Amino acid sequence: MAVKDIAKEDAIYPGKPVVVGRYNLPARINHWITAASLILLALSGLAFFHPSLFFLTGLFGGGQNARAFHPWIGVVLFFSFAGLFIRFWRANLPEKSDAEWLAHTNDVIAGHEDRLPEVGRYNAIQKFNFWVMALLIIGLILTGLAIWDQYFYNWTTIPQKRVAVLIHSLAAVALICIWIVHVYAAIWTRGTLRAMTRGSVTGGWAWKHHRRWLKELAERHRTKKPAAPAE
């Protein structure tokens, strides 16, 4: 079993129900800063994507403010996601069981998770989203710097800026789509949101969705006696 799936804060708290610690407070804060940055970037970016969406600049106090805030929020997103990347990249490395899990996609959709291979901390779709988001965010920051004329005008030529704008726009649309899938999956899989709000999941949720991760926790004798997090 892969040690990379276990974080320092992971622990099993006996009780009724059993509660499993999954994310500590710094990880949750890091996650929500990233989420907030993505939402603000999507709103401000879409405002410049098409004239019919320009009204969204009102959320930022007007077009000038939206244009000024957008790249700085992008910088916040980059460093915030970098924190998540450093924390979780090992747990998102592909492995043989991922292909086996994907082969049972119909069972995933039908909710027959008892027929799936045992999953570690993250399943194949979660890993895919993680790496795609990482690549898209890198692409966005690089192209964003290329068109941030206030500070980096002389870095690129006009033709290069035009290409950067196109790539930046396409990457942004792709990232928004990935984010929507991420949010939908979190809502669709009942009990998932609790992990990023309370930092814990129930033992039943862990057994159903990430059984290998739960087994590794138990086998490493990381069970703790303090009272479980409040329901």
Helix (H) / strand (E) containing 40: helix 25-47
- Cβ neighbour number for residue 218 with a 10 Å cutoff: 12
CA proximity to 45, closest of 143, 123, 132? 143
Bridge partners of residue 19, in order along the sequence? 13, 202
Q: Which residues of 192-205 are buried (b: 16+ CB within 10 A; e: fewer)?
A: bebbeebbbbbbeb
Query: How far apart are alpha carbons 145 and 131 in whole angstroms?
Result: 21
Q: Which two tokens stand for residue 96?
A: 């043989």
Bridge partners of residue 223, in order along the sequence? 12
DSSP-derived letter for residue 49 is T
- Is the torsion defined by CA of 208, 210, 212, 215 positive or negative? negative
112 is catalytic: no
CA proximity to 216, closest of 124, 126, 121? 121
Which one of 70, 168, 182, 221 is the catalytic residue? 182
Read off φ and ψ for residue 7, nearest 5 degrees: -100, 165
Positions marked active-site: 182
